[in-house]
Amino acid sequence: MSFSTPVKTRRSAHCTPRQSRLDSSPLTPRNYAALSSSYFGGSRRNSPKTSIHKQIPSPLKLDNYLPDTTLVGTGPSSCANTPKRIAKKQIFRASVQGDRFIPSRSSSSTTMTKLEDDNSSSSSNGSTRSSVSSSATNSYEYQSSVAEACGFALNQRILTFKPEAPQSKKPIDLRSQYNRPLKPAVNAQLRRRLPTNAERILDAPGIRDDYYLNLLDWSCNNQVAIGLDRDLYVWNAESGSVSSLLRTTPDTYISGLKWSGDGAYVAVGLSDGDVQIWDVEEGEKVRSMTGHAARVGVMSWDRHVLSSGCRDGSIWNHDVRIAQHKVSEFVNHEAEVCGLQWRSDGSQLASGGNDNLVNIWDARSSTPKFTKTNHKAAVKALAWCPWQLNLLATGGGTFDKQIHFWNGTTGARVNSIDAGSQVTSLQWSTTYKEIVSSHGYPDNNLSIWSYPTLVKNGEIQGHDTRILGSALSPDGSTLATVASDENLKFWKVFEQIGKKVSSAVMGGSLASGGKDIAKVMMIR
Protein backbone atom coordinates (compact mmCIF):
# COMPACT_ATOMS: atom_id res chain seq x y z
CA MET A 1 0.00 0.00 0.00
CA SER A 2 1.44 3.30 -0.95
CA PHE A 3 0.35 6.41 0.75
CA SER A 4 -1.35 7.55 -2.31
CA THR A 5 -4.78 6.71 -1.02
CA PRO A 6 -5.06 8.49 2.29
CA VAL A 7 -8.62 9.50 1.78
CA LYS A 8 -9.87 6.02 1.45
CA THR A 9 -8.26 5.06 4.70
CA ARG A 10 -9.59 8.06 6.39
CA ARG A 11 -13.05 7.20 5.39
CA SER A 12 -12.76 3.85 6.97
CA ALA A 13 -11.75 5.55 10.14
CA HIS A 14 -15.40 6.16 10.77
CA CYS A 15 -16.20 2.54 10.93
CA THR A 16 -13.32 1.24 12.93
CA PRO A 17 -12.39 1.81 16.51
CA ARG A 18 -9.49 4.10 16.95
CA GLN A 19 -7.10 1.64 18.33
CA SER A 20 -7.30 -0.62 15.42
CA ARG A 21 -5.92 2.14 13.33
CA LEU A 22 -2.93 2.53 15.41
CA ASP A 23 -2.46 -1.16 15.69
CA SER A 24 -2.67 -1.69 12.05
CA SER A 25 -0.42 1.12 11.12
CA PRO A 26 2.79 -0.80 11.66
CA LEU A 27 1.84 -2.90 8.74
CA THR A 28 2.28 0.00 6.46
CA PRO A 29 5.57 1.53 5.45
CA ARG A 30 7.04 3.81 7.95
CA ASN A 31 6.32 7.20 6.58
CA TYR A 32 2.78 6.28 6.05
CA ALA A 33 2.47 5.23 9.62
CA ALA A 34 3.57 8.61 10.78
CA LEU A 35 1.52 10.34 8.23
CA SER A 36 -1.65 8.49 8.75
CA SER A 37 -1.61 8.86 12.45
CA SER A 38 -1.10 12.54 12.21
CA TYR A 39 -3.54 12.84 9.41
CA PHE A 40 -6.31 11.07 11.15
CA GLY A 41 -5.55 12.78 14.32
CA GLY A 42 -5.97 16.04 12.57
CA SER A 43 -9.27 15.26 11.09
CA ARG A 44 -10.64 14.01 14.31
CA ARG A 45 -9.28 16.41 16.75
CA ASN A 46 -12.60 18.00 17.49
CA SER A 47 -14.51 14.85 18.10
CA PRO A 48 -15.08 13.65 21.61
CA LYS A 49 -13.53 10.28 20.90
CA THR A 50 -10.25 11.81 19.95
CA SER A 51 -6.72 11.04 19.83
CA ILE A 52 -5.44 7.64 20.11
CA HIS A 53 -2.52 9.22 18.37
CA LYS A 54 -1.71 10.93 21.57
CA GLN A 55 -0.74 7.61 22.92
CA ILE A 56 2.24 7.78 20.70
CA PRO A 57 4.59 9.53 22.97
CA SER A 58 6.10 11.40 20.09
CA PRO A 59 6.29 10.69 16.45
CA LEU A 60 9.96 11.30 16.54
CA LYS A 61 10.38 8.69 19.09
CA LEU A 62 8.33 6.40 16.97
CA ASP A 63 10.74 6.90 14.21
CA ASN A 64 13.48 5.67 16.38
CA TYR A 65 11.89 2.30 16.48
CA LEU A 66 11.19 2.06 12.87
CA PRO A 67 14.20 0.11 11.75
CA ASP A 68 12.62 -2.89 13.37
CA THR A 69 9.39 -2.48 11.58
CA THR A 70 10.82 -2.16 8.15
CA LEU A 71 11.27 -5.87 8.18
CA VAL A 72 7.59 -6.43 8.15
CA GLY A 73 6.14 -3.73 6.07
CA THR A 74 4.64 -6.07 3.55
CA GLY A 75 1.59 -7.33 5.32
CA PRO A 76 -1.80 -7.24 3.71
CA SER A 77 -3.88 -4.15 4.02
CA SER A 78 -5.32 -4.37 7.43
CA CYS A 79 -8.05 -1.94 7.97
CA ALA A 80 -10.14 -4.20 10.14
CA ASN A 81 -13.82 -3.71 10.00
CA THR A 82 -15.08 -5.42 13.13
CA PRO A 83 -13.88 -5.10 16.65
CA LYS A 84 -13.71 -8.84 16.97
CA ARG A 85 -11.24 -9.15 14.21
CA ILE A 86 -9.12 -6.48 15.68
CA ALA A 87 -9.04 -8.19 18.97
CA LYS A 88 -7.93 -11.39 17.38
CA LYS A 89 -5.21 -9.69 15.49
CA GLN A 90 -3.96 -8.01 18.53
CA ILE A 91 -3.82 -11.22 20.41
CA PHE A 92 -1.95 -12.76 17.61
CA ARG A 93 0.52 -9.97 17.52
CA ALA A 94 0.97 -10.10 21.20
CA SER A 95 1.82 -13.74 20.96
CA VAL A 96 4.53 -13.16 18.39
CA GLN A 97 5.98 -10.59 20.68
CA GLY A 98 5.19 -7.70 18.48
CA ASP A 99 8.15 -7.40 16.23
CA ARG A 100 5.87 -5.59 13.87
CA PHE A 101 3.98 -3.64 16.46
CA ILE A 102 5.53 -0.30 17.16
CA PRO A 103 3.32 1.06 19.88
CA SER A 104 3.94 -1.90 22.08
CA ARG A 105 7.60 -1.10 22.00
CA SER A 106 7.34 2.57 22.54
CA SER A 107 4.90 2.35 25.41
CA SER A 108 4.03 -1.19 26.13
CA SER A 109 2.05 -0.48 29.20
CA THR A 110 -0.63 1.59 27.51
CA THR A 111 -0.92 -0.87 24.76
CA MET A 112 -1.50 -3.62 27.15
CA THR A 113 -4.33 -1.73 28.76
CA LYS A 114 -5.70 -1.12 25.38
CA LEU A 115 -5.52 -4.74 24.58
CA GLU A 116 -7.43 -5.58 27.67
CA ASP A 117 -10.01 -3.04 26.81
CA ASP A 118 -10.53 -4.57 23.47
CA ASN A 119 -10.89 -7.98 24.90
CA SER A 120 -13.35 -7.00 27.53
CA SER A 121 -15.56 -4.72 25.45
CA SER A 122 -14.87 -3.58 22.00
CA SER A 123 -16.48 -0.21 22.38
CA SER A 124 -14.92 0.88 25.61
CA ASN A 125 -11.69 2.20 24.27
CA GLY A 126 -12.59 5.63 25.46
CA SER A 127 -11.18 4.70 28.81
CA THR A 128 -7.65 5.48 27.81
CA ARG A 129 -8.61 8.73 26.35
CA SER A 130 -8.39 10.96 29.32
CA SER A 131 -4.96 9.85 30.19
CA VAL A 132 -3.36 11.50 27.25
CA SER A 133 -4.14 15.02 26.27
CA SER A 134 -0.97 16.91 26.90
CA SER A 135 0.64 17.38 23.53
CA ALA A 136 -2.38 18.10 21.41
CA THR A 137 -1.24 21.40 19.96
CA ASN A 138 2.22 20.11 19.28
CA SER A 139 0.94 17.16 17.35
CA TYR A 140 -1.39 19.30 15.31
CA GLU A 141 1.43 21.47 14.18
CA TYR A 142 3.36 18.40 13.46
CA GLN A 143 0.52 16.99 11.43
CA SER A 144 0.19 20.04 9.29
CA SER A 145 3.89 20.15 8.66
CA VAL A 146 3.93 16.51 7.67
CA ALA A 147 0.94 17.00 5.49
CA GLU A 148 2.53 19.93 3.82
CA ALA A 149 5.69 18.02 3.25
CA CYS A 150 3.75 15.24 1.64
CA GLY A 151 1.98 17.62 -0.65
CA PHE A 152 -1.57 17.52 0.51
CA ALA A 153 -3.39 19.78 2.81
CA LEU A 154 -5.46 18.75 5.71
CA ASN A 155 -9.13 19.19 5.40
CA GLN A 156 -9.07 18.71 1.67
CA ARG A 157 -10.71 16.22 -0.55
CA ILE A 158 -9.47 15.15 -3.90
CA LEU A 159 -12.43 14.22 -5.97
CA THR A 160 -12.55 12.66 -9.34
CA PHE A 161 -15.40 12.42 -11.77
CA LYS A 162 -16.17 8.77 -11.61
CA PRO A 163 -17.86 7.91 -14.92
CA GLU A 164 -15.49 6.74 -17.58
CA ALA A 165 -14.73 9.19 -20.30
CA PRO A 166 -16.20 8.05 -23.60
CA GLN A 167 -13.82 6.13 -25.77
CA SER A 168 -12.76 7.56 -29.03
CA LYS A 169 -14.39 5.66 -31.82
CA LYS A 170 -11.51 5.78 -34.21
CA PRO A 171 -7.81 5.22 -33.80
CA ILE A 172 -5.99 8.48 -33.67
CA ASP A 173 -2.72 9.29 -35.24
CA LEU A 174 -1.59 12.51 -33.74
CA ARG A 175 1.20 12.97 -36.21
CA SER A 176 -1.21 13.63 -38.99
CA GLN A 177 -2.84 16.24 -36.85
CA TYR A 178 0.14 18.39 -36.13
CA ASN A 179 0.39 19.84 -39.57
CA ARG A 180 -3.28 19.88 -40.20
CA PRO A 181 -5.04 23.06 -41.25
CA LEU A 182 -7.93 23.93 -39.01
CA LYS A 183 -10.44 23.39 -41.76
CA PRO A 184 -9.41 20.40 -43.80
CA ALA A 185 -9.50 21.08 -47.49
CA VAL A 186 -11.01 17.67 -48.14
CA ASN A 187 -14.21 18.70 -46.47
CA ALA A 188 -14.57 21.73 -48.65
CA GLN A 189 -14.37 19.53 -51.70
CA LEU A 190 -16.74 16.95 -50.39
CA ARG A 191 -19.33 19.40 -49.27
CA ARG A 192 -22.34 19.60 -51.48
CA ARG A 193 -22.52 22.79 -53.37
CA LEU A 194 -25.95 23.85 -54.38
CA PRO A 195 -26.66 26.39 -57.03
CA THR A 196 -28.23 29.62 -55.94
CA ASN A 197 -28.98 30.69 -59.46
CA ALA A 198 -30.85 28.80 -62.09
CA GLU A 199 -28.79 27.33 -64.89
CA ARG A 200 -31.37 28.47 -67.36
CA ILE A 201 -34.73 30.16 -67.27
CA LEU A 202 -37.46 29.73 -69.84
CA ASP A 203 -40.82 31.43 -70.04
CA ALA A 204 -43.86 29.33 -69.44
CA PRO A 205 -46.64 31.75 -70.27
CA GLY A 206 -50.15 30.77 -69.41
CA ILE A 207 -49.36 27.75 -67.29
CA ARG A 208 -52.36 26.79 -65.23
CA ASP A 209 -51.80 27.41 -61.55
CA ASP A 210 -53.45 24.19 -60.45
CA TYR A 211 -51.89 21.88 -57.92
CA TYR A 212 -53.72 18.84 -59.26
CA LEU A 213 -52.27 18.98 -62.76
CA ASN A 214 -49.00 17.51 -63.97
CA LEU A 215 -47.73 19.70 -66.77
CA LEU A 216 -43.99 19.11 -66.92
CA ASP A 217 -41.96 16.05 -67.90
CA TRP A 218 -38.46 15.34 -69.19
CA SER A 219 -37.90 12.43 -71.53
CA CYS A 220 -35.03 10.02 -71.76
CA ASN A 221 -34.24 11.64 -75.10
CA ASN A 222 -33.56 14.88 -73.30
CA GLN A 223 -36.71 16.63 -74.35
CA VAL A 224 -38.82 18.66 -71.99
CA ALA A 225 -42.56 18.70 -72.53
CA ILE A 226 -44.66 21.37 -70.90
CA GLY A 227 -48.37 21.98 -71.07
CA LEU A 228 -49.34 25.62 -71.18
CA ASP A 229 -53.11 25.73 -71.01
CA ARG A 230 -54.17 24.46 -74.47
CA ASP A 231 -50.69 24.16 -75.95
CA LEU A 232 -48.07 21.50 -75.52
CA TYR A 233 -44.51 22.57 -76.23
CA VAL A 234 -41.47 20.38 -76.51
CA TRP A 235 -38.13 21.97 -75.73
CA ASN A 236 -35.10 20.07 -76.90
CA ALA A 237 -32.51 20.35 -74.18
CA GLU A 238 -29.67 19.52 -76.55
CA SER A 239 -30.40 21.94 -79.32
CA GLY A 240 -32.48 24.40 -77.34
CA SER A 241 -35.13 24.41 -80.02
CA VAL A 242 -38.79 24.64 -79.14
CA SER A 243 -41.64 23.15 -81.06
CA SER A 244 -45.35 23.27 -80.47
CA LEU A 245 -46.62 19.73 -80.53
CA LEU A 246 -50.32 20.28 -80.23
CA ARG A 247 -53.08 22.71 -79.45
CA THR A 248 -56.32 21.46 -78.05
CA THR A 249 -59.79 22.51 -79.00
CA PRO A 250 -60.99 25.62 -77.15
CA ASP A 251 -63.34 23.70 -74.89
CA THR A 252 -60.61 21.79 -73.18
CA TYR A 253 -57.08 22.18 -71.84
CA ILE A 254 -54.09 20.00 -71.10
CA SER A 255 -54.30 18.63 -67.57
CA GLY A 256 -51.56 16.05 -67.60
CA LEU A 257 -48.69 14.80 -69.71
CA LYS A 258 -46.16 12.01 -69.52
CA TRP A 259 -43.32 10.80 -71.72
CA SER A 260 -43.28 7.15 -72.56
CA GLY A 261 -40.33 5.11 -71.37
CA ASP A 262 -38.56 5.24 -74.74
CA GLY A 263 -39.04 8.97 -75.06
CA ALA A 264 -40.73 8.68 -78.45
CA TYR A 265 -44.30 9.35 -77.40
CA VAL A 266 -45.97 11.67 -75.01
CA ALA A 267 -49.27 10.86 -73.36
CA VAL A 268 -51.53 13.84 -72.93
CA GLY A 269 -54.44 13.96 -70.53
CA LEU A 270 -57.17 16.45 -71.25
CA SER A 271 -59.68 18.18 -69.08
CA ASP A 272 -62.56 16.50 -70.92
CA GLY A 273 -61.30 13.03 -70.02
CA ASP A 274 -59.51 12.17 -73.25
CA VAL A 275 -56.12 10.52 -73.17
CA GLN A 276 -54.09 11.07 -76.33
CA ILE A 277 -50.79 9.66 -77.40
CA TRP A 278 -48.59 11.77 -79.63
CA ASP A 279 -45.57 10.82 -81.65
CA VAL A 280 -43.15 13.64 -81.00
CA GLU A 281 -40.83 13.15 -83.93
CA GLU A 282 -43.61 12.99 -86.44
CA GLY A 283 -45.61 15.60 -84.57
CA GLU A 284 -48.86 13.72 -84.97
CA LYS A 285 -51.41 12.07 -82.77
CA VAL A 286 -51.07 8.30 -82.68
CA ARG A 287 -54.28 7.46 -80.92
CA SER A 288 -56.92 8.80 -78.61
CA MET A 289 -58.25 6.78 -75.71
CA THR A 290 -61.56 8.04 -74.49
CA GLY A 291 -63.72 6.92 -71.65
CA HIS A 292 -62.80 8.88 -68.56
CA ALA A 293 -65.69 10.90 -67.24
CA ALA A 294 -63.63 13.81 -65.99
CA ARG A 295 -60.24 15.43 -66.48
CA VAL A 296 -57.15 13.28 -66.44
CA GLY A 297 -54.60 15.02 -64.28
CA VAL A 298 -51.94 12.38 -63.96
CA MET A 299 -50.53 9.44 -65.89
CA SER A 300 -47.75 6.94 -65.55
CA TRP A 301 -46.20 4.52 -68.00
CA ASP A 302 -45.13 1.00 -67.37
CA ARG A 303 -43.74 -0.10 -70.70
CA HIS A 304 -46.83 -0.52 -72.88
CA VAL A 305 -49.29 0.12 -70.08
CA LEU A 306 -50.38 3.68 -69.48
CA SER A 307 -52.18 4.29 -66.23
CA SER A 308 -54.28 7.39 -65.97
CA GLY A 309 -55.75 8.95 -62.88
CA CYS A 310 -59.03 10.77 -63.20
CA ARG A 311 -60.79 13.48 -61.26
CA ASP A 312 -63.53 11.00 -60.33
CA GLY A 313 -61.01 8.93 -58.39
CA SER A 314 -60.63 6.08 -60.86
CA ILE A 315 -57.36 4.81 -62.23
CA TRP A 316 -57.47 3.13 -65.60
CA ASN A 317 -54.78 0.99 -67.08
CA HIS A 318 -54.56 1.24 -70.85
CA ASP A 319 -52.67 -1.23 -72.96
CA VAL A 320 -51.69 1.14 -75.75
CA ARG A 321 -51.01 -1.69 -78.19
CA ILE A 322 -54.52 -3.00 -78.48
CA ALA A 323 -57.78 -1.56 -79.62
CA GLN A 324 -59.64 -2.32 -76.40
CA HIS A 325 -57.15 -0.25 -74.52
CA LYS A 326 -58.69 -0.36 -71.07
CA VAL A 327 -57.35 -3.53 -69.50
CA SER A 328 -58.08 -2.91 -65.84
CA GLU A 329 -59.35 -0.34 -63.41
CA PHE A 330 -58.10 0.51 -59.92
CA VAL A 331 -60.87 2.02 -57.88
CA ASN A 332 -60.30 3.06 -54.34
CA HIS A 333 -59.84 6.81 -54.33
CA GLU A 334 -62.88 8.87 -53.61
CA ALA A 335 -61.49 12.12 -54.93
CA GLU A 336 -59.29 13.30 -57.75
CA VAL A 337 -56.18 11.25 -58.35
CA CYS A 338 -53.25 13.65 -58.63
CA GLY A 339 -50.24 11.42 -58.05
CA LEU A 340 -49.45 8.25 -59.93
CA GLN A 341 -46.14 6.45 -60.24
CA TRP A 342 -45.17 2.99 -61.39
CA ARG A 343 -42.28 1.35 -59.65
CA SER A 344 -39.35 1.04 -62.02
CA ASP A 345 -39.79 -2.74 -62.29
CA GLY A 346 -43.51 -2.39 -62.96
CA SER A 347 -44.65 -4.55 -60.10
CA GLN A 348 -46.34 -1.88 -58.06
CA LEU A 349 -48.23 1.32 -58.70
CA ALA A 350 -48.42 4.08 -56.13
CA SER A 351 -51.29 6.52 -56.30
CA GLY A 352 -52.17 9.59 -54.29
CA GLY A 353 -55.40 11.48 -54.26
CA ASN A 354 -57.27 14.49 -53.02
CA ASP A 355 -58.87 12.20 -50.43
CA ASN A 356 -55.49 12.28 -48.64
CA LEU A 357 -54.92 8.58 -49.34
CA VAL A 358 -51.83 6.85 -50.61
CA ASN A 359 -52.58 3.53 -52.28
CA ILE A 360 -49.99 0.99 -53.26
CA TRP A 361 -51.34 -1.40 -55.87
CA ASP A 362 -50.03 -4.71 -56.97
CA ALA A 363 -49.94 -4.74 -60.77
CA ARG A 364 -51.92 -7.98 -60.85
CA SER A 365 -54.65 -7.04 -58.41
CA SER A 366 -57.41 -4.46 -58.61
CA THR A 367 -57.62 -3.95 -54.88
CA PRO A 368 -54.94 -1.87 -53.21
CA LYS A 369 -52.22 -3.79 -51.44
CA PHE A 370 -51.84 -1.00 -48.91
CA THR A 371 -53.92 2.06 -48.21
CA LYS A 372 -52.17 4.72 -46.17
CA THR A 373 -54.08 7.42 -44.37
CA ASN A 374 -51.22 9.25 -42.70
CA HIS A 375 -51.31 12.32 -44.89
CA LYS A 376 -53.73 15.01 -43.89
CA ALA A 377 -53.91 16.68 -47.27
CA ALA A 378 -53.92 15.75 -50.93
CA VAL A 379 -51.00 13.63 -52.09
CA LYS A 380 -49.53 14.68 -55.39
CA ALA A 381 -45.84 14.04 -54.88
CA LEU A 382 -44.85 10.40 -55.27
CA ALA A 383 -41.44 8.92 -56.03
CA TRP A 384 -40.00 5.45 -55.97
CA CYS A 385 -36.40 5.24 -54.87
CA PRO A 386 -34.01 4.28 -57.69
CA TRP A 387 -31.49 2.47 -55.46
CA GLN A 388 -33.91 0.76 -53.13
CA LEU A 389 -36.74 -0.48 -55.25
CA ASN A 390 -39.39 -0.90 -52.59
CA LEU A 391 -38.90 2.53 -51.02
CA LEU A 392 -41.61 5.04 -51.80
CA ALA A 393 -41.62 8.70 -50.85
CA THR A 394 -44.87 10.62 -50.69
CA GLY A 395 -45.51 14.27 -49.91
CA GLY A 396 -48.66 15.91 -48.64
CA GLY A 397 -50.36 19.18 -49.39
CA THR A 398 -50.71 22.44 -47.52
CA PHE A 399 -52.39 21.09 -44.42
CA ASP A 400 -49.95 18.22 -44.15
CA LYS A 401 -46.49 19.39 -45.24
CA GLN A 402 -45.07 15.94 -44.46
CA ILE A 403 -42.89 13.69 -46.53
CA HIS A 404 -43.40 10.06 -45.61
CA PHE A 405 -41.23 7.15 -46.66
CA TRP A 406 -42.80 3.73 -47.09
CA ASN A 407 -41.63 0.23 -47.50
CA GLY A 408 -43.65 -0.92 -50.50
CA THR A 409 -43.24 -4.56 -49.58
CA THR A 410 -44.45 -4.43 -46.01
CA GLY A 411 -46.45 -1.23 -46.16
CA ALA A 412 -44.60 0.13 -43.15
CA ARG A 413 -43.79 3.79 -42.79
CA VAL A 414 -40.03 3.90 -42.40
CA ASN A 415 -39.31 7.62 -42.12
CA SER A 416 -40.91 11.02 -42.13
CA ILE A 417 -39.83 14.57 -42.70
CA ASP A 418 -41.75 17.67 -41.76
CA ALA A 419 -41.03 19.73 -44.84
CA GLY A 420 -42.72 22.86 -43.55
CA SER A 421 -44.47 23.63 -46.82
CA GLN A 422 -46.92 22.14 -49.25
CA VAL A 423 -45.10 19.38 -51.10
CA THR A 424 -45.72 19.61 -54.83
CA SER A 425 -43.22 17.09 -56.16
CA LEU A 426 -40.47 14.71 -55.15
CA GLN A 427 -37.47 13.51 -57.16
CA TRP A 428 -34.86 11.04 -56.01
CA SER A 429 -31.33 11.70 -57.10
CA THR A 430 -29.63 9.05 -59.14
CA THR A 431 -26.22 10.50 -58.26
CA TYR A 432 -26.44 11.04 -54.52
CA LYS A 433 -28.38 9.35 -51.78
CA GLU A 434 -30.68 12.32 -51.77
CA ILE A 435 -34.18 13.39 -52.54
CA VAL A 436 -35.32 16.81 -53.65
CA SER A 437 -38.73 18.15 -52.83
CA SER A 438 -40.43 21.14 -54.40
CA HIS A 439 -42.77 23.22 -52.34
CA GLY A 440 -45.69 25.56 -52.51
CA TYR A 441 -47.16 27.61 -49.73
CA PRO A 442 -45.52 29.09 -47.68
CA ASP A 443 -41.89 28.77 -48.73
CA ASN A 444 -42.10 28.05 -52.49
CA ASN A 445 -38.62 26.55 -52.34
CA LEU A 446 -36.67 23.46 -53.27
CA SER A 447 -35.28 21.34 -50.46
CA ILE A 448 -32.63 18.68 -50.76
CA TRP A 449 -32.57 15.94 -48.16
CA SER A 450 -30.12 13.19 -47.49
CA TYR A 451 -31.63 9.76 -47.24
CA PRO A 452 -31.78 7.89 -44.92
CA THR A 453 -30.27 10.46 -42.55
CA LEU A 454 -33.02 12.95 -43.47
CA VAL A 455 -30.56 15.79 -43.04
CA LYS A 456 -31.50 18.83 -45.04
CA ASN A 457 -28.51 19.46 -47.26
CA GLY A 458 -29.79 22.73 -48.50
CA GLU A 459 -32.60 24.63 -50.01
CA ILE A 460 -33.01 26.84 -53.01
CA GLN A 461 -35.30 29.83 -53.07
CA GLY A 462 -35.88 29.58 -56.75
CA HIS A 463 -39.33 30.87 -57.48
CA ASP A 464 -41.47 33.75 -56.34
CA THR A 465 -44.61 31.68 -56.26
CA ARG A 466 -45.37 28.07 -55.68
CA ILE A 467 -43.56 25.42 -57.64
CA LEU A 468 -46.11 23.35 -59.52
CA GLY A 469 -43.96 20.50 -60.66
CA SER A 470 -40.48 19.25 -61.34
CA ALA A 471 -38.70 16.85 -63.64
CA LEU A 472 -35.23 15.36 -63.54
CA SER A 473 -32.96 15.28 -66.55
CA PRO A 474 -32.05 11.85 -67.97
CA ASP A 475 -28.48 12.15 -66.72
CA GLY A 476 -29.80 12.96 -63.26
CA SER A 477 -27.86 16.17 -62.86
CA THR A 478 -30.43 18.84 -63.57
CA LEU A 479 -33.83 19.51 -62.16
CA ALA A 480 -36.43 21.45 -64.07
CA THR A 481 -39.05 23.27 -62.07
CA VAL A 482 -42.09 25.14 -63.23
CA ALA A 483 -43.89 27.57 -61.00
CA SER A 484 -46.98 29.66 -61.15
CA ASP A 485 -44.75 32.68 -61.76
CA GLU A 486 -44.69 31.33 -65.34
CA ASN A 487 -41.03 30.44 -65.24
CA LEU A 488 -39.44 27.16 -66.14
CA LYS A 489 -36.08 26.99 -64.40
CA PHE A 490 -33.26 24.50 -64.57
CA TRP A 491 -31.09 23.74 -61.56
CA LYS A 492 -27.91 21.70 -61.43
CA VAL A 493 -28.76 20.21 -58.07
CA PHE A 494 -27.21 16.79 -58.47
CA GLU A 495 -24.15 17.64 -60.47
CA GLN A 496 -21.44 15.12 -59.94
CA ILE A 497 -18.22 16.47 -58.53
CA GLY A 498 -15.13 15.79 -60.57
CA LYS A 499 -17.05 14.89 -63.69
CA LYS A 500 -17.55 17.36 -66.44
CA VAL A 501 -21.20 16.94 -67.04
CA SER A 502 -21.90 20.60 -67.38
CA SER A 503 -22.19 20.48 -71.12
CA ALA A 504 -24.10 17.26 -71.28
CA VAL A 505 -27.57 18.52 -70.76
CA MET A 506 -27.91 21.96 -72.10
CA GLY A 507 -26.71 22.58 -75.63
CA GLY A 508 -24.17 19.82 -75.36
CA SER A 509 -23.53 16.31 -76.31
CA LEU A 510 -25.65 13.84 -74.48
CA ALA A 511 -24.90 10.50 -75.94
CA SER A 512 -28.37 9.48 -76.95
CA GLY A 513 -29.08 11.64 -79.96
CA GLY A 514 -32.70 10.62 -79.77
CA LYS A 515 -33.48 10.10 -83.39
CA ASP A 516 -31.28 7.08 -83.85
CA ILE A 517 -33.04 5.10 -81.23
CA ALA A 518 -35.80 3.02 -82.68
CA LYS A 519 -39.18 3.35 -81.14
CA VAL A 520 -39.66 0.48 -78.83
CA MET A 521 -43.41 0.35 -78.84
CA MET A 522 -46.01 -0.35 -81.38
CA ILE A 523 -48.98 1.82 -80.82
CA ARG A 524 -52.10 1.23 -82.81
Partner 1 sequence: MSSAKMSSSSAGPTRSKLSLKGSSKLVAEFFEYSIHSILFQRGIYPPEDFQVVKKYGLNMLVSVDEDVKTYIRRIMSQLNKWVVGSKISKLVVAIVSLDSAEVVERWQFDIEVFSKASGSKKSSSSSADKENAAPKASKQTSDDAHGDKTIDEIQQEIQAIIRQITASVTFLPVLEGRHTFNVLVYADGDTQAPSEWIDSDPKEIQNAEQVKLRSFSTASHKVDTMVAYRLGTAE
Longest dimension (CA), the chain: 127
How far, in Å, CA of 319 to CA of 317, rounded?
Answer: 7
**What letter would DSSP give residue 312?**
T
SS3 per-residue string spanning 86-131: HHHHHHHHHHCCCCCCHHHHHCHHHHHHHHHHHHHCCCCHHHHHHH
How far, in Å, CA of 65 to CA of 18, rounded?
Answer: 21
Q: In the complex with partner 1, which residue's Cβ is closer, 15 or 91?
A: 15
Q: Which residues of 455-479 are buried (b: 16+ CB within 10 A; e: fewer)?
A: eebbbbebbeebbbbbbbbbbbbbb
CB of 285 vs partner 1, minimal distance in Å:
60
Q: In the complex with partner 1, which residue's Cβ is closer, 67 or 163?
A: 163
Q: Where are the beta strands (DSSP E) in 14-93?
A: none
CB of 77 vs partner 1, minimal distance in Å:
15
How far, in Å, CA of 437 to CA of 430, rounded?
Answer: 14
* Count of beta carbons in the 10 Å neighbourhood of residue 16: 18
Q: In the complex with partner 1, which residue's Cβ is closer, 45 or 105?
A: 45
Report the interface residues with partner 1, using CB under 8 A.
4-5, 7-8, 11, 43, 46, 144, 151-175, 177-178, 180, 182-183
Residue partners of 88: CB distance under 8 A and separation at least 6: none
C-alpha dihedral over 208, 213, 215, 218, to 10 degrees?
160
CB of 485 vs partner 1, minimal distance in Å:
39
Q: In the complex with partner 1, which residue's Cβ is closer, 171 or 250?
A: 171
CB of 173 vs partner 1, minimal distance in Å:
8
Burial class (CB in 10 A: 0-12, 13-18, 19+), 92: exposed
CB of 31 vs partner 1, minimal distance in Å:
15
CA-nearest of 350, 356, 345 to 330 is 350
CA-nearest of 50, 3, 59, 61 to 27 is 3
CB of 191 vs partner 1, minimal distance in Å:
14
CA-nearest of 319, 309, 316, 370 to 340 is 309
Going from the C-alpha of 70 to that of each of 5, 99, 100, 171, 331, the distances in angstroms are 20, 10, 8, 46, 98
Q: In the complex with partner 1, which residue's Cβ is closer, 328 or 450?
A: 450
Q: In the complex with partner 1, which residue's Cβ is closer, 164 or 251?
A: 164
CB of 182 vs partner 1, minimal distance in Å:
6
Q: In the complex with partner 1, which residue's Cβ is closer, 158 or 522?
A: 158
CA-nearest of 436, 503, 504, 442 to 470 is 436
Q: In the complex with partner 1, which residue's Cβ is closer, 141 or 334?
A: 141
CB of 427 vs partner 1, minimal distance in Å:
31
CB of 20 vs partner 1, minimal distance in Å:
21
CB of 487 vs partner 1, minimal distance in Å:
39
Burial class (CB in 10 A: 0-12, 13-18, 19+), 148: exposed
CA-nearest of 357, 345, 280 to 315 is 357
Q: In the complex with partner 1, which residue's Cβ is closer, 154 or 389?
A: 154
Q: In the complex with partner 1, which residue's Cβ is closer, 43 or 122?
A: 43
